[in-house]
Amino acid sequence: MSGPSTYIPRTGIEKWVDERLPIIRMGSDFMTYPSPRNLNYWYAFGGILTLCLMTQIITGIIIAMHYTPTIDGAFDSLQRFKRDVNFGWLIQPMHAVGASMFFLAVYIHMFRGLYYGSYKAPRELIWILGCVIYLLMMATAFLGYTLPWGQMSFWGATVITGFFGAVPVVGESLQQWLLGGYSVSNATLQRFFSLHYLLPFVIAAIVGLHVWALHHAGQNNPIGISVKTKKDTLSFHPYYTVKDAFAIGIFLLIFCFFLFFQPDALGHADNYIKADPLVTPAHIVPEWYFLPFYAILRAVESKLMGLLLMVGAIAVLFVLPWLDFSKVRSMRFRPVTRLFFIVFVVMCFILGWCGAETPDNMVFTVGYKPVVTDLAAYLELTGGTLPSIGTDREIAAATAELTKAAEETCNLDGSKSLTEYCEAKPLGLNFLWLTRLATAYYFAYFLFILPAMSLIETPKKRPDSITESVLGHNTNAALAPAE
Amino acid sequence: MKTIKTLLVAASMGIATLGAASAVYAAGAPSEMPDGAMKHKKWSFNGPFGTYDKAAAQRGFQVYREVCASCHALDQLAFRHLAEKGAPFYNEDFPNPNDNPLIKGFAAEYEIADIDGDDGSAITRPGIPADKFPPVYANDIEAASVNGKPPPDLSVMVKARGGGADYLYSLLLGYEYDMPESMEGTVGVGSYYNPVMEGAVIAMPPQLVEGAIEYEDGTEATKEQMAYDVTQFLAWSADPKLEQRKRVGFGTMFYLGILTILLYLSYRQVWKDVEH
């Protein structure tokens, strides 16, 4: 990794190993890796995520020992695992809650990267590898959610694979190839299980590359000024091992709260009902961590456009290092972009909210508009008839006139329609339009705001070095002990 | 200062996740319900130290056997589960639930399909504690032809509905409300109005009738009592390890809390003379 190695083999065995496979050197250099001295707690999520990945893999391997990947056996095998296998009651929720915690941590890690400009040169590949990991995590989580074979498992898989059918020309074949049939079936469950077991190891491999690239390019830091002298850094151990350990303690407390006291709060009750292809749940919603993307998927009428938007929402992250070409990394010195960033975070939460709601539901209602729902009933009451002679256009015009007349007699008392043939249509903002607004901002942030700000924004004055930012201007004062 | 910041961050992380979770539930909330139809009870098993009301769960098992069991199965349960640690019929004298005479008795009341060990013919024999509760119907088609719709399995029912125990309790007592005018004529034969049910129409006729059963412990079998008892039993059935989980959880959180404080102090010590 970067920098000259400080490892000195002390014993004969260490020397022997070091000449043949310098693996102890690698570990030692890893522990003494010079890290910027000003890293805050937002930088603890790398360690937290490593822990999450390990937890998921270990619990997953144990669950796989007891899991039956068939449509008749899957649901019951997990129930048996939780009821009859020692600590099954702990390990299965640990895996399920662990998935949520993993995403919680990865989202914070990503927002951290966005805020401090960790995707900028020379760290583009760290960021892109991170995006690949995130994409693989989404795939793994989606595949894994199918495995308990509850109602949401089945219908979630049906809805999401359905979107592949929207791909032009090859869509139908692609969908059938993914499913191993014409619908979500035993073949689907078995291949999803196989892939769900495979992908975490691919993730682990890419995490290796991610960390390798990080150690080569060096960590970014909250002020985004590159490390210049040795004084700017501290040895990873003990300074950051102890700081990360404290952060992990806090994270585990949150994890354990959900695991032991609210194990089902992050899931959906319907997944405790065995999958039934003949009964569609009233609301099909994905896990909370997919809600923003689910909202984007539904932001437009066309399935294909929805799919493109959702893929685009992730694809745009891959090219972010070239969309935001401002030389200033940290938002601390970009006052205007910082405001846009805060709005961006809020919009992401709004998208999550929209993803959980039915698009036609109202966010807020300012009033009601009468709408005639049953013109025939109105005509019967008033003794009128529908026009029947004349051209189509004349009939349509006459009908519209009658409808308007009927509308005027609609009795709207505040919020409710009192006349049988009318209905009160709420006026205001529904979730569909809120979704569209937030989706538009999501893309605008990356495609217009960041490039534009890179050109026009005047950044605040930045300190010359990390040391200066830590000590004010008195760079000669004792920075104490380091080694 | 740093600690306060950390705690704030931790708290907001927690709140954000909870918010996301409740948003998911909000999406499934029923629309119009008469006041009081959804009853909110203080269940003994809620809260960080919650435990099941064993006496009620035992009575609840009686309600299940004498009322529910004619249509609803308990697919995931074996008889021995009833007497495991934390279960309604746990008895310290019989740490192995298979030895529990009460459970042997319950099991023996059921006829279990089996295969004769000598000639391979299909036979039935009395149940033993290791057996699972047998299915009520041979298959879903039979269940549907008898009942109109197949009665759902009850073993994880309390977890399978958004409202949990409150939902089940309210549903069992939800037959007493008058149907809104707008629904009149829409509920067919063999269906009943029950505002707690999604869509407010349920295929199950009202089951709990005052005094329908005679409790072995002499408790008066009111509707509310029976609904409460069977909910306790089915809550246990859906989450049989709840007591163990909460106990281990408290210990774990306590340990982690101490560890985190020690880690914080170590952090302060290590960084004591470092400007950062």
Cβ contact A356–B23 (<8 Å): yes
Q: Cα dist. A433→A169, A299, A371, A426 in Å?
A: 30, 8, 20, 14
Instruction: Tell whether omega for the bond before A238 is within 30 degrees of 0, i.e. cis.
Output: yes
Condensed to tens digits (0 to 9), the pLDDT of residues A304-347 reads 999 999 999 999 999 999 999 999 999 999 999 999 999 999 99
- Strand A416-417 versus strand B122-126 pairing type: unpaired
Measured in angstroms, the CA of B147 and the nearest CA of chain A are apart by 17
Q: Span A33-271: which CATH code?
A: 1.20.810.10
pLDDT digits (tens, 9 = 90+) for A26-41: 999 999 999 999 999 9
C-alpha span between B4 and A389 (Å, rounded): 78
Close Cβ partners of B125 (under 8 Å, ≥ 6 residues apart)? B111, B112, B114
Q: Do A261 and B17 touch (CB under 8 A)?
A: no
Please give, rounded to a whole number of angstroms, the shortest distance from the CA of A175 to a CA of chain B.
Answer: 28
pLDDT digit string, tens, across residues A2-14: 567 889 999 999 9
Span A174-183, pLDDT tens digits:
999 999 999 9
Confidence grade of residue A388 (pLDDT, cut at 50, 70, 90): confident
**CB-CB under 8 Å, B252 with A285:** no
Which of B20, B23, B252 faces A260 most closely, judged by CB atoms?
B252
pLDDT in tens, B27-78: 444 446 888 889 999 999 999 999 999 999 999 999 999 999 999 999 999 9
Q: Where are the domains of chain A?
A: 1-30, 33-271, 362-430
Q: Which of A111, A112, A260, A270 to mutate to test the interface with B (most CBs of B within 10 A)?
A: A260
Could you give the CA distance from residue B222 to residue B231 in angstroms, rounded to a whole number? 14
Please write the tens of the pLDDT for every residue from A373-382: 777 777 777 7
DSSP A205-236: HHHHHHHHHHHHH----TT-PPP-SGGGEEEI
Highest mean pLDDT among A124-128, A157-161, B162-166: A124-128
Would you call A17 exposed, middle or buried from its count of C-beta atoms within 10 A (0-12, 13-18, 19+)? middle
Interchain pair B6, A41: CB under 8 A: yes
Q: What's the pLDDT score for residue A474?
A: 52
Using CA atoms, how far apart are residues B138 and B124, in angstroms rounded to an integer?
Answer: 14
Residue A292 Cα to chain centre, angstroms: 7
**Backbone CA torsion sign across A167, A168, A174, A179:** positive
Mean pLDDT score, B88-101: 95
Contact flag A266-B21 (C-beta cutoff 8 Å)? yes
Asked if A111 has any chain B CB less than 8 Å from its own CB, the reply is no
Whether residue A76 and residue B75 make contact (CB cut-off 8 A), yes or no, is yes
C-alpha distance across the termini of chain A, in Å: 20
- Assess whether pLDDT exceeds 80 at residue A421: no
Chain B neighbors of A239, CB-CB under 8 A = 270-271, 274
For residue B8, the model assigns a pLDDT of 58
Cβ(A329)–Cβ(A322) below 8 Å: no
**Chain B residues in contact with A108 (beta carbon < 8 A):** 13
Task: State the smallest CA–CA distance between residue A274 and chain B in angstroms.
Answer: 10
Q: What distance in Å separates the CA atoms of residue A93 and residue B188, rounded to the nearest whole number?
A: 41
pLDDT in tens, A342-385: 999 999 999 999 999 988 889 998 888 778 777 777 777 777 77
Note which residues in 407-466 of chain A have CB less than 8 A from chain B. none
- pLDDT for the residue numbered A273: 96
| Single pTM value for the model | 0.90
Q: Chain B contacts of A261, Cβ < 8 Å?
A: 48, 246, 249
**ipTM value greater than 0.95:** no
Q: Check CB contact of A108 with chain B, cutoff 8 Å.
A: yes
Cβ contacts (< 8 Å) between B273 and chain A: which residues?
A: 480-481
Nearest-CA distance B96 → chain A (Å): 13
Which residues in chain A are closer than 8 Å to B151, comparing Cβ atoms? none
> Which pLDDT band, with edges at 50, 70 and 90, does A419 fall under?
low
Within 8 A of B79 by CB-CB distance, chain A residues are: none
Local structure of A316: helix, strand or coil:
helix
pLDDT of residue B42: 94
Of the pLDDT bands very low, low, confident and very high (cuts 50, 70, 90), residue A413 is low
From the list A264, A270, A471, the residue facing B275 with the nearest CB is A471
Condensed to tens digits (0 to 9), the pLDDT of residues A228-247 reads 999 999 999 999 999 999 99
Residues of chain B contacting A80 with CB distance shorter than 8 Å: 76
Mutation target vs B (from A152, A153, A253, A468; most B CBs, 10 A cutoff) = A253
Q: Do A260 and B246 touch (CB under 8 A)?
A: yes
HSE (side-chain half, CA atoms, 13 Å) at B151 = 19
- Average pLDDT value over all residues in chain B: 89
